[in-house]
Structure 1
Amino acid sequence: MKRWIQLAVVALCAIVVAACGRKSVSLEDFDKPVYMLEYASGFDILSADGRQSVLVTVTNPWQGADSVTTRLFIARDGEQVPEGFDGQLLEGDAQRIVAMSSTHIAMLDAIGEVDRVVGVSGIDYISNPDIQARRDRIGDVGYEGNINYELLLSLDPDLVLLYGVNGASAMEGKLKELGIPFMYVGDYLEESPLGKAEWLVALSEVVGCRSEGEKVFAEI
């Protein structure tokens, strides 16, 4: 009996230690860049001490945007969402992606992850060989203003990659209603070609391959 009591005490201590190690953090704790931007200015990838999760912040992701910030929290290793967070939540790395722009596909292709794309907008206008080879298995969800949300739901995406032109995407409200996470990609707003290309690092973070994204961008 004494041995069982000792084992129970040890187990309880282990649970307490684990719980302490996973104590809650606030949004402000995510202030440590895990990647230093060289040319782009529209995104940041931030982490907190002792955390595997990251916060991807995107600023002013459409023309004329002023002080607009959108956030995507990528929860890893069972970690909780930080206190005060009200943005988009991605549980783990994105395995199934709907890309609303062909540039998103090009960036995922550059890091060897285009196979994660399960849905696109306007498949007839996408020249990527992998997408065309899988066109019978990839959903064409249509264009903004005429999105097939039933098809979108059936694709079971982990994340939808959006872009804005003169304002927020018309899809944003519906995606929130359906509980489908999204992230804006503002590559086209960067002032230099290298700034545009650097967004592939943001997408590589989303799929859990940031080191590969950094390597590819360094070569570019």
Structure 2
Amino acid sequence: MQHNKTKLHFFSVVPNQTLWGCAIICTIFEHCMISFRASLVFATILIAISMLNGCQNAREKSGPDDIVWIKNSHAQLFRIGLTKTDSFLEVYDAPNSMLSIGKFCWGSSSKIEGYQKIENRSKIVSLSAIHTGMLAELGLGKSIVGVESKQYIAHPAIYTSSLLDSVQELAPDGPIIPEKLANLKPQILIGYVFNIQEKSTIERIAKNHFLVIWSNNHLEPHPLGRAEWIVAMGWLLGKSKESTELFQGISKEYLAIAKQAANPDQGKKSDMGSNKSNKNNRPTVMMNIPYNGQWFVPQGQSYMSQFILDAGGIPITLQPEGSGSNMVGLEKALQAMQLADIWINTDNCNTRKCLTEMDPRVLNIKALQGNRVFNFNKKLNPNGSNSYWDLGCIFPNLVLRDLHKIIQNDTQSLYFYQRCK
């Protein structure tokens, strides 16, 4: 309090002219500070925009100056580039991410800074049935020397041939067995990041011995994005022409089905003589089954939701944003799905009896009452492997064709799906 009194006393003895001068100085100072703050804010915005643009262009700036990057159709987690002498593959940890988890090159240059050179491709370990299927589809099955587990391999080019007997299992019962991988001495390992510990183990064994390519195609949110990874595999392993042509055919049919589903009445005349959209009459589609009192419900931007939308249906998601799944309580899920027109992907339940034994309340679901429940179990092999998981990823056009037929109530010639009995 004494300090305030002193301060007031000081101003009381200052002449008016001095106070007027102080006021002018203070006013000028205040305007300067406002101007400075505005300039600072503006500069901060410019810096932020510059940093954002820098992040967006970070992928473009990597690699040699003369590299030309090929634009992907749908895939977001890899890119392929070319110069006059070399080819390049960069892989990323997530969609729209700037974090590279691998940079590879091959060609006539002896060494390119920042890239691992691929020289030998004759001994490959594949730790995913999907990647194994892609290799088989490109005619590279004989190059596979090791797999995660033979139990999951369903591609007919391997499952029905002697190749299945010759490959080594590296993780038949869970985590990868380090000794088996080290003794196999592969030249390339293609896998996906399952957990950090296993990733570290593999990279430790691989150091200075073989290349590791993390192919997280399962994180691609669009079915064609996942399928497009066969192009990356093809370029990487000397099958660029074959893989590109294969994917182009897959994409062409997929997009044609999606276009037809989006305009079901295109070319048909209504009573008023004009084309009429049927979008408001799209059936709702629920997915999956409950597990331990929870229901895994795909989010609105997920892989399966995209399938349903492209097939002409409306996915029941409960959350429009996100590309994963939500664990929803059973009560809430049953309430949301009660009026679903179609029910798909019932996992191990292939009969109505199995579904009702899980929870009798599913009898109230409209899809079950209308006998419109379908599972992807038509291509099961005797060992329990299911072609839906690998061939369905490579050929999403076949999955979309099935789903479109189910939505159209034309279920006589389905490829992966069949009606639950």
Output the TM-score relative to the length of structure 2: 0.40
What is the CA distance between 1:213 and its match in structure 2? 0.4
Match of residue 140 from structure 1: 169
Contact 1:75 1:81 in 2 (8 A): no
Q: Confirm whether residue 40 of structure 1 aligns to residue 75 of structure 2.
A: yes
1:193 aligned residue (220, 223, 238): 223
Percent of aligned positions that are identical:
25
Match of residue 182 from structure 1: 212
Which digits, 9 at most, give the CA deviation of each residue in 1:77-126, with x for residues without a partner? Answer: 3x21213x1x533215x222100000101212222222221110011221
Distance, in Å, in 1 between the alignment partners of 2:141 and 2:247 is 16
- The letter for the 2-side match of 1:151 is K
Match of residue 203 from structure 1: 233
State the SS of the aligned residue for 2:207: helix
State the SS of the aligned residue for 1:28: coil
- The letter for the 1-side match of 2:243 is G
Q: Confirm whether residue 214 of structure 1 aligns to residue 270 of structure 2.
A: no
Distance, in Å, in 1 between the alignment partners of 2:117 and 2:94 is 18
Match of residue 55 from structure 1: 88
- The letter for the 2-side match of 1:111 is L
State the SS of the aligned residue for 1:27: coil
Higher RCO structure, 1 or 2 (CA under 8 Å, sep 6+): 1
Match of residue 374 from structure 2: none
Match of residue 67 from structure 1: 98
Counterparts of residues 1-220 of structure 1 (less than 5 Å) = 27-29=63-65, 31-33=67-69, 35-48=70-83, 50-51=84-85, 53-61=86-94, 67-77=98-108, 79-83=109-113, 85=114, 87-92=115-120, 94-132=121-159, 133-142=162-171, 146-165=175-194, 167=196, 169-177=199-207, 179-220=209-250
What is the CA distance between 1:145 and its match in structure 2? 7.1
Tell me how large the CA RMSD over aligned residues is: 2.7
- The letter for the 2-side match of 1:184 is W
Structure 1 unpaired stretches of 5+: 1-25
Distance, in Å, in 2 between the alignment partners of 1:178 and 1:150 is 16
What is the CA distance between 1:128 and its match in structure 2? 2.5
Distance, in Å, in 1 between the alignment partners of 2:79 and 2:64 is 14
Which digits, 9 at most, give the CA deviation of each residue in 1:119-177, with x for residues without a partner? Answer: 10011221233434323311111169732333223333220002014658244432343
Give the ranges of 4+ consecutive aligned residues of structure 1 lying more than 6 Å apart after TM superposition.
none
Between 113-122 and 188-197, the greater mean CA deviation after superposition: 113-122
- The letter for the 2-side match of 1:210 is S
Number of aligned residues = 186
Contact 1:30 1:54 in 2 (8 A): no
Larger helix fraction of residues: 2
State the SS of the aligned residue for 1:29: coil
Distance, in Å, in 2 between the alignment partners of 1:166 and 1:134 is 29
Which digits, 9 at most, give the CA deviation of each residue in 1:48-73, with x for residues without a partner? Answer: 2x21x2221011259xx953202332
Output the TM-score relative to the length of structure 1: 0.73
What is the CA distance between 1:178 and its match in structure 2? 5.1
Distance, in Å, in 2 between the alignment partners of 1:110 and 1:176 is 26
Distance, in Å, in 1 between the alignment partners of 2:232 and 2:173 is 23
Between 177-186 and 115-124, the greater mean CA deviation after superposition: 177-186
